[in-house]
């Protein structure tokens, strides 16, 4: 008897080795057990090229409509891929396109097993990292200062544009706002001009920005995800030094949490704001079980630190959460090109399918929660237990051999690992009577 899933999930297929794994997971683990309608979008590079990338935008719209999507890793084409696949052009990153349409935030979550020893001994539960993927360093303007001169920061309110600036603004309102800066948000009528630095020789200068809308949307997604995962929420910045820029982040975050305060209290979850250096020091001694919300640069750096600290790319899952509460699940790794080329030569591979399997279970559990179908969410749990049970029994792919204790004598091929998972899932479902 298959378990009935009430509403469809958007399925986004992908490329190379992960496309091979994807099909095996779907055919051997998911569809034999679930009566599930999948709205299929083929984001394989050939089909993106054929549809002028319309398929990516349609897939994003489907996630928006259905609420839940599951995505296979895809190639982001560079010049080499354009010739390898004879593409019309180098299509943009599908993840970037989907994120743009859903206005989402990406959370990376490590998959932990009892015998998989992270490099950081205290980490026993997942540390989820949420990265604000807009602004700051990544949308900055900068340049190399050739020699002595003045660098200034100028803001011209839209209404005043053309008026105040028309005659070239030398001296006009110079440093009016003083070092305190701070035009009142939401309606400065006058131009703001701040001295950045008086250069006596060559150097470098940079201007960064962010927007209230983007920060608030990021904060809302973090709040939503922390509540959905029932984990403590951390946000850290450097507001002691950057009183206005980082201070604004701190305040907008606090506002987003305040709006959902009763839900935090009901779930018994805390929100903690701290200085970024304090957060880094604490996280290394923490057992985990937290969502660490990071500004753009911090998220770039610390998501890689956490991923590497937990052990393997094959054990890192990822979810895109939109501020409207739409979810897209995927593995954090790419299409594992090197293994695919081995596969094409007819060699068997030992590629870890666990992060891709957890993309499926994440989507299935969320579907069950949104539909209020307990059995569906329970199936996701059973599949995760089956897979982790294998790892804990020492049945693993090659990437995990050096990471688990005791070290297994051998490892499985991609396909045999998935078959072993299917067998163990069968027993797990029998045991729980599903
Ligand atoms: P990758 O797929 O992340 O793999 C890099 C290396 O990491 C592999 O060669 C392998 O190391 C190891 N690895 C990653 N996942 C593994 C797994 N599941 N099991 C075992 N080992 C694993 O990066 P890539 O091969 O350099 O990139 C291929 C394509 O992926 C690129 O075209 C890129 O655009 C795309 N990409 C897509 C996404 C996405 O869709 N979310 C994300 C990143 C990259 P060994 O070779 O040492 O075995
Ligand atoms: Mg990085």
Q: How far is the CA of 107 from the centre of ligand 2 (A)?
A: 13
Joined together, the tokens standing for residue 285 give 């001694």
Q: Which pLDDT score is estimated for 187?
A: 59
Task: Point out the least confidently predicted range of 99-103, 151-155, 247-251.
Answer: 99-103
Tell me the average pLDDT across 3-18.
98
| Cβ 349 under 6 angstroms from ligand 1 | no
Query: Does the CB atom of residue 44 touch ligand 1 within 6 A?
Result: no
334 lines ligand 1 (CB under 6 A): yes
For residue 413, the model assigns a pLDDT of 97
pLDDT of 180 above 50: no
Q: CA geometry: angle at 184 spanning 179 and 187, to 5°?
A: 135
pLDDT higher than threshold 50 for residue 169: no
Whether residue 98 has its Cβ less than 6 Å from ligand 1: no
pLDDT at residue 160 in the model: 54
Distance CA 311, CA 309 (A): 5
Q: Does the beta carbon of 90 lie inside 6 Å of ligand 1?
A: no
pLDDT tens-digit map of 42-71? 999 999 999 999 999 999 999 999 999 999
Give the ligand at the shortest distance from the Cα of 297. 2
Walk me through the domains of the chain, giving residue ranges and CATH numbers. 1-112+314-434 (3.40.718.10), 117-140+209-310 (3.40.718.10), 142-207 (no CATH)
How high is the mean pLDDT of the chain?
Answer: 91
| Closest residue to atom 6 of ligand 1, CA basis | 336
Q: What is the 337 CA–ligand 1 centroid distance (Å)?
A: 6
Split at pLDDT 50, 70, 90, the class of 84 is very high
CA distances from 264 to 12, 130, 165, 181 (A): 33, 18, 48, 35
What pLDDT score does 434 carry? 61
Centre of ligand 2 to C-alpha 66, Å, is 30
What's phi and psi for 203, nearest 5 deg?
-175, -155
Q: What angle do CA 304, 305, 308 make, to 5 degrees?
A: 80
Residue 71 near ligand 1, beta carbon < 6 Å: no
Report the nearest-CA residue for atom 32 of ligand 1: 75
pLDDT, average across residues 1-9:
96
Give yes or no for residue 414 CB within 6 A of ligand 1.
Answer: no
State residue 103's pLDDT score: 80
Per-residue pLDDT tens over the stretch 387-421:
999 999 999 999 999 999 999 999 999 999 999 99
């Amino acid at each position: 008897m298959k378990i009935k899933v009430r509403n469809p999930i958007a399925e986004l297929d992908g490329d190379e080795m992960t496309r091979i794994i994807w099909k095996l997971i779907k055919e051997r683990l998911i569809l034999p057990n679930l009566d599930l309608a999948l709205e299929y979008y083929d984001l394989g590079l050939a089909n993106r090229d054929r549809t002028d990338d319309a398929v990516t935008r349609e897939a994003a719209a489907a996630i928006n409509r259905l609420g839940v999507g599951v995505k296979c890793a895809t190639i982001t084409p560079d010049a080499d891929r354009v010739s390898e696949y004879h593409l019309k052009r180098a299509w943009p990153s599908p993840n970037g396109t989907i994120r743009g349409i859903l206005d989402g935030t990406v959370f990376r979550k490590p998959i932990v097993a009892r015998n998989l020893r992270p490099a950081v001994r205290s980490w026993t539960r997942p540390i989820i990292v949420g990265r604000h993927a807009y602004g700051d360093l990544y949308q900055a303007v900068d340049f190399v200062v050739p020699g002595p001169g003045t660098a200034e920061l100028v803001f011209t309110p839209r209404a005043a544009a053309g008026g105040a600036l028309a005659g070239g603004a030398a001296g006009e309102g110079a440093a009016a706002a003083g070092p305190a800066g701070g035009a009142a948000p939401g309606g400065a009528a006058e131009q703001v001009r701040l001295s950045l630095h008086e250069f006596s020789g060559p150097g470098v200068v940079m201007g960064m920005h962010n927007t209230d809308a983007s920060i608030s949307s990021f904060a809302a997604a973090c709040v939503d995800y922390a509540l959905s995962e029932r984990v403590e929420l951390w946000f850290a910045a450097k507001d002691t030094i950057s009183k206005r820029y980082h201070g604004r982040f701190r305040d907008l975050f606090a506002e987003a949490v305040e709006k959902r305060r009763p839900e935090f209290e009901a779930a018994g979850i805390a929100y903690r704001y701290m200085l970024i250096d304090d957060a880094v020091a604490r996280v290394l001694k923490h057992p985990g079980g937290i969502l660490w919300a990071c500004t753009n640069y911090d998220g770039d750096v610390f998501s890689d630190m956490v991923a590497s600290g937990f052990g393997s790319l094959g054990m890192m899952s990822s979810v895109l959460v939109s501020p409207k509460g739409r979810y897209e699940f995927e593995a954090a790794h790419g299409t594992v090109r090197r293994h695919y080329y081995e596969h094409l030569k007819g060699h068997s591979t030992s590629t870890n399918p666990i992060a891709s399997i957890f993309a499926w279970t994440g989507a299935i559990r969320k579907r069950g929660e949104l539909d209020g179908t307990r059995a569906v969410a329970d199936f996701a749990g059973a599949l995760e237990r089956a897979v982790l049970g294998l790892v804990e029994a020492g049945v693993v792919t090659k990437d995990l051999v050096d990471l688990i204790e005791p070290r297994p004598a051998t490892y499985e091929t991609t396909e045999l690992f998935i078959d072993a998972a299917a067998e163990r899932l069968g027993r797990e479902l029998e045991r729980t009577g599903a």
